[in-house]
Copies of this chain bind each other. A is one copy, B any other.
């Protein structure tokens, strides 16, 4: 099995992680017509995995469509949900994109900006593998929790 194929099997412990569980929850939340109802987690999250070959097929310049945008939102919503779960304070994500897919994503807790990221080429949003996506999320989460710990007064405002 290739690495990618192995990752897709449900036995992969990554599907037990808080992040992936939350991601699946976020994706199901925007699934108005219940298309994903009988889908396993691996299939729901498959569009987030953009291997190098897949990425090469997408034009360098392009406008993100609604489906891609909903994925970007799901990702930052999931991180906000995890921050909230860890620190017990409300975490609010805010995404601001031009129609060309450039912009900024932030997450605030109280009056504290706990995550601040410049986005570009959002129409090619995706990770090499699910575990890469989880690594990125874990990094954002740990930095956010560190900032909250250091400035808890501002986070509690």
- Which A residues lie at the B interface, using CB under 8 A? 94-96, 104, 106, 108, 110-114, 116, 147, 151, 153-154
Give the number of times this chain occurs in the complex, counting copies: 2
A112 to B111, CA, bound (A): 6
Task: Say yes or no: A106 contacts B104, CB within 8 Å.
Answer: no
Q: Which of chain B's residues have a CB closer than 8 A to the CB of A151? A: 111, 151, 153-154
Q: Which of chain B's residues have a CB closer than 8 A to the CB of A116? A: 108, 111
Chain B nearest CB from A43 CB (Å) reads 30
A67 to B45, CA, bound (A): 39
Chain B nearest CB from A91 CB (Å) reads 12
CB-nearest residue of chain B relative to A104? B94
Chain B nearest CB from A84 CB (Å) reads 16
